Structure 1
């Protein structure tokens, strides 16, 4: 019998649990650990194969009776914003995002709690403590950045930093072929700004500036209204049985 090399990743399967997106469905995940000096290379390969990262774990759905979860990546270099997206960019032109290392702060956590309490009350992350949040940010063996968004200040064009209250945060992995949006949150009271959309648009601009072809958005769940926003950003590719294929929406994307 051939023995697997000790440095090869081992994959595990979770037990079935109720799906948080589709009523009456049960989800299972296959996962592996991202550790050691090959973690970044492995994260690239697995993300390109439809996995997502959470701390030092890479996972993807492995549901027995459902295939609604579809990996999505935006073709950043071909992207052109719609009229509505241009309005979002204009509305948030007074914000600047500062890239930092994966270093949590109490200010980030306060914003994180406010976001969860309004947007995801009772969800799987609703009872996360400051220590849990710190682990979410710090526990990474890959190239991870925290982007803090604040209002532009008089010296922002020199310092590259915003000033004042923290408005939004994005936890983002830097990959060989793009940026992967691991998790983001923002001030839920600033609905006029459409901050969720703005963070995606800003990541597209960052990928374009670096010459990177993709922005990975995670999973679009076919049939889940809360995940419908992910197919607005065109052109994009979906991962299927034959690899990444360009997706054509059936409805007009505004």
Structure 2
């Protein structure tokens, strides 16, 4: 099934499959290819409309009977760390940040495998081999970086984040860490460090991916201050997380054709 706008790009819909976040529900995605000279403009524009990048594809949840998944971002100007987050920063003061071009290494893949085996052994990435991992890191038509975190005391790689550089922020595409360092809250630490990077570079947002009310896997994103979610065509403060439970019903989502018609595309003339 395909729906398209009068001008490129064209938008497609995936077949329904079991939702990885909410038991008993089915997920479906609206997606388009990310390619050509206007890839960066398209990525910047659609990221502001709740889309996420995966290699050469931009996608957004478009489930037929559920609208629980909401794109989330942190507003840097208003962010203030909680006491717990401040303690997390102190606990990880011995980590060094390294920033590199999106190029996969064996060290990264070994860490990735350990992370999956410990945290997501039954997830959709569980069978990803080294070549698929390399594709995830390296197949990007836009400005991306691999941000590594190294333990200064051992020179050991303990965490990695694939990060896209948007015109208004940093998008944390995918992150993973050493399960032996679980007590150091490295997932939270990487978000806090991306907030620091955004401040250093004058960018107003850090994009976190999707927040899903009712999903324990995604609950940590609501623990950050100044979080906004993309809902019903605009960004709004997250506020009280419990008020989003009403989005989990069949009337929450618009028909696909209507969703596509409401997408704003960038002006790519002259690119």
| TM beyond 0.5 | yes
1:152: Cα distance to partner?
Answer: 3.4
Correspondence 1:61-76 to 2 at 5 A? 61-76=61-76
Q: In angstroms, what is the RMSD of aligned CA positions?
A: 1.4
**What does residue 160 of structure 1 align with?**
none
Q: Distance in 1 between matches of 2:110 and 2:241?
A: 40
Q: How does 1:11-160 map to 2 (within 5 A)?
A: 11-152=11-152
Task: Tell me if structure 1 keeps the 8 A contact 2:222–2:241.
Answer: no
Of the structure 1 ranges 236-245 and 105-114, higher mean CA displacement relative to structure 2 is found in 236-245
State the match for 1:225 in structure 2: 216
User: Aligned partners of 1:148, 1:33: CA distance in 2, in Å?
Assistant: 28
Aligned to 1:158: none
8 Å CA contact 1:172–1:182 kept in 2: the answer is yes
Change in Cα spacing, 1:250 to 1:44, as seen in structure 2 (3 Å) is: closer
Of structures 1 and 2, the one scoring higher in RCO (CA 8 A, sep 6+) is: 2
Contact persistence 1:207–1:214 (CA under 8 A): yes
- CA shift, 1:4, in A, is 3.8
CA distance in 1, matches of 2:167, 2:173: 16
CA distance in 1, matches of 2:115, 2:182: 12
TM-score, normalised on structure 1?
0.91
What is the distance in 1 between the residues matched to 2:226 and 2:174?
22
Listed as ranges, the gaps of 5+ residues in structure 2 are 243-271
Whether the aligned pair in 2 keeps the contact of 1:231 and 1:249 (CA below 8 Å) is: no
- For normalisation by structure 2, the TM-score amounts to 0.85
Determine the C-alpha separation between the residues in 2 that align with 1:246 and 1:192.
30
Q: Distance in 1 between matches of 2:199 and 2:240?
A: 23
Instruction: Report deviation, 1:24.
Output: 1.1
CA contact (8 A) 2:16 2:26 kept: yes
State the number of aligned residues.
238
Distance 1:242 1:55 in 2: 25
Structure 1 stretches of 5 or more lacking a match? 154-162
- Equivalent residue, structure 2, for 1:181: 172
- SS of corresponding position for 2:126: coil
State the distance in 2 between where 1:54 and 1:250 align.
27
The verdict on how the C-alpha distance between 1:76 and 1:18 changes in structure 2, with shifts beyond 3 A counting, is: same
Q: CA deviation at 1:142?
A: 0.7
User: Partners of 2:124 and 2:42 in 1: how far apart?
Assistant: 27
Does the Cα contact within 8 Å between 1:77 and 1:211 map onto a contact in 2? Answer: no
Report the 3-state secondary structure (helix = DSSP H, G, I; strand = E; otherwise coil) of the residue aligned with 1:22. coil
Q: Which residue matches 2:235?
A: 244
Residues 100-121 of structure 1 show CA distances to partners (whole Å, capped at 9, x for unaligned) of: 0000000000000000000000
Equivalent residue, structure 1, for 2:248:
none
How far apart are residue 175 of structure 1 and its match? 0.5
Is the partner of 1:96 in helix, strand or coil? strand
Partner Cα separation in structure 2 for residue 223 and residue 151 of structure 1 = 34
Q: Does 1:191 find its partner at 2:182? A: yes
Which deviations, in whole Å up to 9, do the C-alpha atoms of 1:144-182 show, x marking residues without a partner? 0001111237xxxxxxxxx71111000000000000000
- Given that residues 96 and 151 in structure 1 are in contact (C-alpha distance below 8 angstroms), is that contact kept between their aligned partners in structure 2? yes
Q: Matched residues in 2 for 1:206 and 1:246: separation?
A: 22
State whether residues 19 and 27 of structure 2, in contact with CA within 8 Å, keep that contact through their aligned partners in structure 1.
yes
How much does 1:250 deviate?
5.4
